Amino acid sequence: MRIRSTRFGRMGAVAACAALVLSSCGGSSIEKQTKQNEDKAAAAGGECGELNMAINPWVGYEADAYVVGAVAESELGCTVTYKDLKEDVSWQGFGTGEVDVVIEDWGHPALEQTFFEGSGDGTATDLGPTGNVGIIGWYVPPWLAKAHPDILDYKNLNKYADEFATSESGGKGQFLGSDPSYVQFDEAIVSNLDLNFKVVFSGSEAASIEAFQKAEAKKEFLIGYFYEPQWLFADLPLEKVALPPYSEDCPVAPAKVACDYAETVLKKIGSTEWADSDSTAVDLVKNFEWTNEDQNVVAKYISEDKMDPEDAAKKWVAENPDKVDAWLS
């Protein structure tokens, strides 16, 4: 597990310079900005203290977390620690005090049943929506959709199964899964729709992105799990395959799923103990909302422009003061 901790003192100087681009950025300006930030925290009725943020393994999540963390450090004086954790492990950290916030949750009924008050141990609490809408689905590269338009209907996939076959798919068509820890029902969908395919996991978001880019460049057959918001769509407009539409009648049991994924209002989950504390970061996290487009900008900075996540977050924060101010009001 990689743990990254950054102190307010180091980032405060950077934030001060960003805030004072129309004036000089000497030592007195930094001291003045630091004092203003301390006064803000005091006026808010308390101190931030430590903020332990889980980092789940996809770049959109990183975008959310590092933007909130940058504001927490520069405006509230928090000491932010970022911890690389899988989704289920993150939730286990609520009860131990190791995790305060999961900043982007895509819907985990089983985890809610285990950790929310009423059904579980009460160590987790819903902190409201992020403003993002998650769309999971089956996608193919643009060239393939153009060359074979009927492939965008799942009923026609079996006739192309041989074209999708790889050395890993055992004579069946390959369906490219992503990180197996993500919310995904692809093996059940393949089985329950009688598709002659085998799910082969890429292992990570980055590997899936590379596979789709390669398939488009080399005109290769590829179908796989992907999702929005995701910066890749701005560069490579993947085409979504129509599965039986999601409805309330779709089976709830994961092994019986035979329809498309539901659109999901993404939300923030926090440690109940932390959410009930007097940390000034609690209101920041509750107030944090932005759009899919906002997230994609920061995610692109990180993934395509190869910026450090902290630098990408600070760039977006400096360019969007009105949105940041709304989270702090």
| Residue 87: pLDDT over 80 | yes
Task: Write the pLDDT tens digit of every residue in 23-40.
Answer: 333 344 545 554 555 555
Structure confidence at residue 272 (pLDDT): 97
> What does the alpha-carbon distance between residue 177 and residue 21 come to, in Å, rounded to a whole number?
45
Sequence letter at residue 118: G
Lowest average pLDDT, out of 26-35, 100-109, 269-278, goes to 26-35
Bond prior to 237 in cis (omega within 30° of 0): no
Q: Could you count the other beta carbons within 10 Å of the beta carbon of residue 233?
A: 15
- Cα within 13 Å of Cα(238), Cβ side: 30
When divided into structural domains, the chain yields a total of: 2
**Residue 67 included in any domain:** yes
194: alpha, beta or left? (left if phi > 0; alpha if psi -120 to 50): left
| Residue 139: pLDDT over 90 | yes
Residue 161 three-state SS:
helix
CATH of the domain at 161: 3.40.190.100
Q: Are residues 141 and 126 in the same domain?
A: no
Q: What is the domain range of residue 14?
A: 3-133+266-328
Structure confidence at residue 3 (pLDDT): 45
Q: Are residues 156 and 100 in the same domain?
A: no
Structure confidence at residue 253 (pLDDT): 87
> What does the alpha-carbon distance between residue 153 and residue 259 come to, in Å, rounded to a whole number?
13
Q: Are residues 283 and 317 in the same domain?
A: yes
Structure confidence at residue 27 (pLDDT): 42
**Could you tell me the pTM of the whole model?**
0.75
> What does the alpha-carbon distance between residue 285 and residue 159 come to, in Å, rounded to a whole number?
48
Per-residue pLDDT, averaged over 47-75, amounts to: 96
